[in-house]
């Protein structure tokens, strides 16, 4: 224990307007039930003294699921009336101007009045909602404990109901990924609430449900949450029957035309039961800030929000010990500091906050690798009521200082960290929206290899586990809330509920995520239509910024702007200037960095989206223009017949630029703090420019996780110390003999010489604002390309590319040869089609057949081809330009040797061994 500095006077107050428990919809009912269920004395003093005062129980296993409503469903099941869908608007340019919303009055009974009170704890700007008396729906078959759901599908969560397809190969569905994510779905599960839970508070914690969730327990509508990306809680306590049957039923209603990308559908993140004493730390109720940080010492301030759900005032005392965490997130050794005991009297059915502080000497700071380490701590608070332990609550955090310097950019713990970021959507390729820790970790590992140090969660709050990963691995994160405010981008997107829900949604994200050291910036919006509405839009921005400051005064705010100019009102409302594409210039518009710099000399400027370059991995198209950037046009960078975009990495969306051009714009504006490339990985949906495809072309890495050539452009720039050289295209072009076949080399070197079959094509120096070496007039002849590079006059890196022979065999490589037998851990197996000497056959599209032996399962396969409509669950798939992917997991609880076999007609097959272990 180093030091317990001060003991501020304890503040005890029912929280500000709207956040008091009294206003939560079910609380009165609940208090009555408690009284009825317990002897009066116990209700007044419901203290348990067991050693695990708080339980957080995963309830992901063993659900039943079906699509659609039952025949006896009344019309009232709709959350709210929705505008009628007009002709599909799929395929609009991403920077198309959003439109005014259509506003409808309900005019018929809907669920909304019962759902709105769920968000009451997050309302301060308006009065809380009161739950209407009675139930909106009585007797519906799916709500009954006795309903036979054995015919429904058995599923474990996280579950994405749309990822199995089938792909909608016809029609205007490209924007949302050509998978049937919209519609109604029901999930049912019986909860295990033993009689010993009598007197406890029982909450259902949902990490994300897509979307418009409504939760019933034992036939009672408990509440719900419309926005699919937020985490939320409903209080089950008034409706549980301890020791009895507790039938949970969750209905989701995911609208069509509700997103510009693939949202997925269903209970696609984890669900938890949280059981506490009536006096407990509230939802996301621990907040740590570190107002003073140096190498020598750090001040750690902790605020605990205590809920008293009992009918008597509760005298409470909190003590907190602080421990260091290891890289895996486990406590190391003894407490390193303590926060002295804090006391408060929490009024009945109300809240109180306890504040404490301590100083830690020689803190191990959190910062992004490679120059810093992502060290973390945990504050373990013990809450006592009348001397008995009623709660134990952990608040994880990191200690770091972040400064935004308009000239230098982002300064972490005194060191300038250039933002080398990417945008990522939430889908995990072939796994869809169903969150999987290992799949997300693999994405981060691939990005780290490229030199990425920052991620923008475009355009919505991520799974909580992803922020645990970014904390642990040391990425800087932009946490983003909305893709639209009041104005609409698609007919049924968030704009429909913005007026009712923006405050609850924004506060929920801020409270959930504000302890994560990786989160360094709050984004309140992306390219919102309010950029165009002058003062009206600015008022919305002001309200959102105000909310962010109330919930977390330690981080600045941004909204990503592709249209608002320096002299418009919107940019003035946010703390940091985040430009989408405008920095390099959009279409004929010149680059806007200088204008913003002149107007906002005190604000940091960076690109929240850069590039939007497009390509299909391994698809090289000829002729190759001599330009460095241009839009994809038929025959120039794109082939509408195959729906593939050239991999020469010179082409972009109409409003975007190649990586090279965006680098040049940044390098001419040294005050720019960095960039977030659109996008790190290809994602499902938004397949600009070919809306008949399934997935995007903008990823630096394809949907299967295979790097495109662009990967090396970023690696060379972001890891300049890494000796590397990369040649494109491949050199297997039967039929192109004698034709001009440009060769480009990407390297962190400054000079390079290319040889074709030993003949020099000339030595080149990279000029300022050039990011690749180009030999645009090479004549193709089979054989060998070789490049030698120099940096500062010294030999730096070399690379070779040889003409491959006919496909002869398969080669398989698992990213992890040992996985945990928990049914969740994954091994990603890359399959390569090779010639007899092991060289990749770069155009191979052989039909591959996957089979598995032992205690494992093939979860999905892919090949990164944006035009493939093969279901992701298929065990047969064509290679795409020589590569394919299989994702393997162990059957839960089954250990041993798994063998993945891959076969293709006429080729020698491959077998990949993977071990399934109880623990790893």
Active-site residues: which are they? 527, 609
On the CB side of 569, CA atoms within 13 Å amount to 12
- Mapping DSSP to helix (H, G, I), strand (E, B) and coil, where does residue 767 land? coil
Q: Would you give the binding string for ligand GAL spanning residues 650-669, x where CB under 6 A is met? A: ---x--x-------------
Give the x/- contact pattern for ligand GAL in 429-468, rule: CB under 6 A: -----------------------------xx---------
Our CB check for ligand GAL shows the closer of 527 and 865 to be 527
DSSP per-residue codes, 489-543: SSTTSGGGTHHHHHHHHHHHHHHHHTT-TTEEEEEEEES-GGGGSHHHHHHHHHH
Q: Residue 419 and residue 476: Cα distance in Å, rounded? A: 8
Backbone angles phi, psi at 253, to 5 degrees: -145, 90
Nearer to ligand GAL, 498 or 683 (CB): 683
**Applying CB under 6 A, which of residues 246, 452, 580, 916 lies at the interface with ligand GAL?**
580
3-state secondary structure 635-703: CEEEECCCCEECCCCCEECCCCCCHHHHHHHHHCCCCCCEEEEECCECCECCCCCCCCCCECCCCCECC
Rg (CA), the chain: 28
Does the CA dihedral 334-339-342-348 come out positive or negative? negative
In whole angstroms, the minimum distance from the beta carbon of 685 to ligand GAL comes to 10
In angstroms, give the least distance from the CB of 328 to ligand GAL.
Answer: 34
- State the minimum distance, in angstroms, from the CB of residue 422 to ligand GAL: 12
3-state secondary structure 394-412: EEEECCCCEEEECCCEEEE
Residues 144, 253: Cα–Cα separation, whole Å: 20
Q: How far is the CB of 726 from ligand GAL (least distance, A)?
A: 24
Least Å distance between CB 265 and ligand GAL? 20
Q: Edge-to-edge, what's the strand order for the sheet holding 773-775?
A: 725-728, 743-747, 773-775
Those residues with Cβ within 8 angstroms of residue 24's Cβ, 6 or more apart along the chain or in another chain: 117, 120, 121, 128, 235
**Site for ligand GAL (CB under 6 A): how many residues?**
16
Task: Please spell the DSSP secondary structure of 38-90, one letter per residue.
Answer: S-HHHHHS-----S---EEEE--SSEEEEES--TT--GGGSSS--PPP-S--T
Residue 503 or 527: which CB sits closer to ligand GAL?
A: 527
Pick between residue 533 and residue 562 the one whose CB is nearest to ligand GAL.
562
Residue 120 vs 580, nearer CB to ligand GAL? 580
List 201, 453, 526, 615, residue binding ligand GAL (CB under 6 A): 526
One residue of 55, 80, 95, 449 binding ligand GAL per CB under 6 A: 95
- In the bound state with ligand GAL, the residue whose beta carbon lies nearer, of 367 and 591, is 591
94 is an interface residue for ligand GAL by CB under 6 A: yes
- Residue 892 tokens read as 């839960």
Which of 305, 526 has the CB closer to ligand GAL?
Answer: 526
Q: Which of 63, 142, 520, 678 binds ligand GAL (CB under 6 A)?
A: 678
615 binds ligand GAL (CB under 6 A): no
End-to-end CA distance of the chain: 32
- Which candidate, 586, 566, 585, places its Cα nearest to that of 577? 566
Which of residues 383 and 428 has its CB atom nearest to ligand GAL in the complex? 428
Establish if 530 lies at the interface with ligand GAL (CB under 6 A).
no
Q: Rule CB under 6 A: which of 255-274 touch ligand GAL?
A: 260
For 556-567, letters b (16+ CB in 10 Å) and e give bbbbbbbbbebe
Residue 562 binds to ligand GAL (criterion: CB under 6 A): yes
Beta strands in 573-629 (DSSP E): 577-580, 605-611
At its nearest, how many Å lie between ligand GAL and the CB of residue 706?
20
Whether 15 and 234 have beta carbons less than 8 Å apart is answered as no
Q: Count CB-CB contacts under 10 A for residue 414.
A: 12
Told to check if 609 binds ligand GAL by CB under 6 A, we report: yes
> Interface residues for ligand GAL in 680-699 (CB under 6 A)?
686, 698
Q: Which is nearer to ligand GAL, 95 or 894 (CB)?
A: 95
Rule CB under 6 A: which of 221-240 touch ligand GAL?
none
User: How far, in Å, CA of 226 to CA of 214, rounded?
Assistant: 8
Q: Where are the beta strands (DSSP E) in 696-767?
A: 725-728, 743-747, 751-756, 759-765
Smallest separation, CB 176 to ligand GAL (Å): 13
Residues in the chain: 920
Closest distance of CB 588 from ligand GAL, Å: 17
Omega of the bond prior to 158 within 30 degrees of 0, cis?
yes
Among 19, 299, 612, 621, binds ligand GAL (CB under 6 A): 612
Say how far apart CA 109 and CA 716 lie, in whole Å. Answer: 59
Q: What is the contact mask toward ligand GAL in residues 695 to 734, using x (rule: CB under 6 A)?
A: ---x------------------------------------
In this complex, which beta carbon is closest to ligand GAL, that of residue 462 or of residue 474? 462
- Closer CB to ligand GAL, 229 or 393, in the complex: 229
Residue 498 Cβ vs ligand GAL, minimum distance, rounded to whole Å: 17
Q: Which residue number places its CB atom closest to ligand GAL?
A: 94
Shortest Å distance, C-beta 686 to ligand GAL: 6
According to CB under 6 A, which one of 15, 197, 307, 527 is a site residue for ligand GAL? 527
Dihedral sign for Cα atoms in the order 190, 192, 198, 202: negative
- Closest residue by Cα to residue 398 from 351, 441, 363, 428: 363
Q: How far is the CB of 710 from ligand GAL (least distance, A)?
A: 14
Cβ proximity to ligand GAL: between 508 and 632 the closer is 632
Q: Which tokens in the block code for residue 831?
A: 């399959």
Q: How far is the CB of 688 from ligand GAL (least distance, A)?
A: 6
Binding residues (CB under 6 A) for ligand GAL: these are: 94-95, 260, 458-459, 526-527, 562, 580, 609, 612, 653, 656, 678, 686, 698
């Amino acid at each position: 224990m180093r030091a317990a500095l001060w003991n501020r006077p304890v503040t005890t107050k029912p929280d500000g307007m709207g956040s008091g428990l009294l206003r939560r919809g079910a609380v009165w009912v609940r208090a009555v039930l408690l009284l009825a269920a317990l002897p009066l004395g116990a209700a007044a003093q419901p203290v348990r003294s067991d050693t695990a005062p708080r339980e957080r129980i995963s309830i992901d296993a063993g659900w039943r699921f079906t699509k659609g409503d039952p025949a006896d469903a009344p019309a009232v099941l709709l959350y709210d009336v929705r505008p009628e869908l007009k002709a599909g608007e799929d395929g609009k340019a991403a920077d198309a101007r959003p439109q005014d919303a259509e506003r409808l009055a309900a005019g018929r009974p809907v669920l909304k009045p019962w759902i709105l009170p769920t968000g009451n704890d997050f309302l301060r700007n308006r009065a809380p909602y009161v739950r209407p008396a009675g139930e909106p729906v009585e007797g519906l078959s799916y709500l009954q404990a006795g309903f036979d759901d054995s015919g429904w599908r058995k599923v474990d969560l996280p579950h994405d109901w749309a990822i199995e397809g089938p792909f909608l190969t016809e029609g205007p569905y490209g924007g949302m990924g050509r998978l049937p994510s919209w519609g109604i779905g029901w999930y049912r599960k019986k909860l295990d609430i033993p009689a010993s839970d009598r007197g406890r508070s029982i909450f259902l914690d949902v990490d994300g449900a897509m979307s418009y969730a409504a939760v019933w327990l034992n036939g009672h509508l408990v509440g719900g949450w419309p926005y699919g990306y937020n985490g939320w809680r409903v209080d089950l306590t008034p409706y549980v029957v301890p020791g009895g049957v507790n039938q949970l039923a969750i209905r989701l209603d995911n609208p069509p035309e509700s997103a510009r990308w693939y949202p997925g559908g269903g209970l696609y993140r984890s669900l938890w039961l949280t059981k506490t004493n009536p006096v407990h730390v509230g939802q996301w109720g621990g907040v740590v800030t570190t107002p003073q940080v140096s190498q020598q010492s750090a001040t750690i301030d902790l605020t605990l929000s205590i809920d008293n759900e009992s009918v008597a005032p509760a005298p409470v005392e909190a003590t907190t010990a602080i421990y260091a965490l290891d890289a895996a997130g486990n406590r190391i050794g003894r407490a390193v500091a303590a926060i002295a005991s804090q006391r408060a009297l929490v009024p009945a059915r109300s809240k109180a906050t306890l504040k404490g502080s301590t100083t830690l000497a020689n803190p191990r700071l959190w910062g992004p690798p490679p120059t810093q380490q992502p060290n973390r701590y945990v504050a373990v608070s013990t809450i006592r009521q009348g001397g008995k332990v009623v709660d134990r609550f952990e608040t994880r955090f990191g200690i770091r200082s972040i400064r935004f310097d308009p000239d230098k950019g982002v300064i972490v713990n005194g060191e300038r960290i250039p933002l080398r970021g990417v945008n990522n959507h939430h889908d995990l390729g072939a796994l869809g929206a169903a969150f999987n820790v290992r799949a997300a970790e693999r994405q981060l590992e691939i990005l780290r290899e490229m030199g990425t140090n920052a991620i923008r969660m475009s355009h919505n709050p991520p799974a909580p586990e992803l922020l645990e990963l970014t904390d642990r691995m040391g990425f800087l994160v932009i946490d983003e809330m909305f893709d639209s405010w009041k104005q609409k981008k698609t007919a049924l997107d968030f704009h429909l509920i913005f007026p009712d829900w923006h405050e609850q949604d924004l506060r929920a994200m801020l409270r959930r995520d504000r302890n994560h050291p990786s989160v360094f910036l709050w984004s309140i919006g992306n390219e919102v239509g309010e950029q165009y509405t002058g003062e009206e839009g600015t008022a919305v921005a002001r309200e959102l910024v105000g909310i962010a400051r109330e919930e977390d005064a330690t981080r600045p705010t941004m909204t990503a702007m592709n249209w608002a100019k320096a002299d418009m009102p919107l940019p003035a409302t946010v703390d940091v200037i985040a430009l989408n594409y405008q920095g390099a210039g959009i279409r004929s518009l010149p680059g806007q960095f200088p204008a913003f710099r002149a107007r906002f000399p005190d604000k940091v400027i960076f690109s929240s989206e850069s590039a939007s370059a497009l390509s299909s991995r391994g698809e090289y198209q000829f002729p190759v223009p001599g330009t460095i950037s241009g839009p994809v046009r038929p025959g120039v960078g794109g082939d509408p017949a195959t729906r593939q975009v050239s991999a020469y990495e010179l082409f972009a969306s109409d409003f975007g630029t190649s990586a090279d051009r965006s680098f040049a714009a940044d390098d001419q504006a040294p005050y720019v703090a960095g960039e977030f490339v659109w996008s790190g990985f290809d994602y499902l949906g938004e397949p600009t420019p070919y809306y008949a495809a399934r997935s995007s072309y903008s990823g630096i890495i394809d949907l299967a996780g295979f790097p495109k050539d662009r990967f090396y452009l970023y690696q060379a720039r972001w890891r300049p110390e890494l000796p590397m050289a990369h040649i494109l295209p491949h050199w297997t072009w039967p039929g192109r003999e004698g034709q001009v076949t440009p060769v480009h080399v990407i390297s962190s070197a400054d000079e390079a010489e290319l040889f074709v079959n030993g003949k020099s094509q000339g030595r080149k120096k990279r000029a300022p604002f050039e990011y690749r070496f180009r030999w645009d007039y090479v004549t193709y002849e089979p054989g060998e390309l070789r490049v030698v590079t120099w940096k500062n006059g010294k030999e730096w890196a070399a690379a070779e590319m040889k003409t491959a022979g006919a496909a002869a065999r398969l080669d398989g490589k698992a990213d992890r040869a040992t996985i945990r037998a928990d049914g969740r851990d994954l091994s990603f197996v890359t399959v390569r089609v090779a010639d007899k000497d092991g060289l990749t056959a770069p155009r191979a599209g052989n039909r591959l057949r996957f089979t598995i032996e032992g205690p494992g399962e093939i979860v999905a396969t892919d090949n990164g081809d944006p035009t493939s409509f093969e279901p992701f669950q298929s065990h047969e798939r064509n290679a795409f330009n020589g590569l394919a992917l299989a994702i393997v997991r162990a059957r839960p609880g089954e250990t041993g040797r798994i063998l993945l076999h891959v076969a293709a007609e006429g080729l020698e097959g491959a077998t990949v061994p993977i071990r399934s272990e109880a623990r790893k």
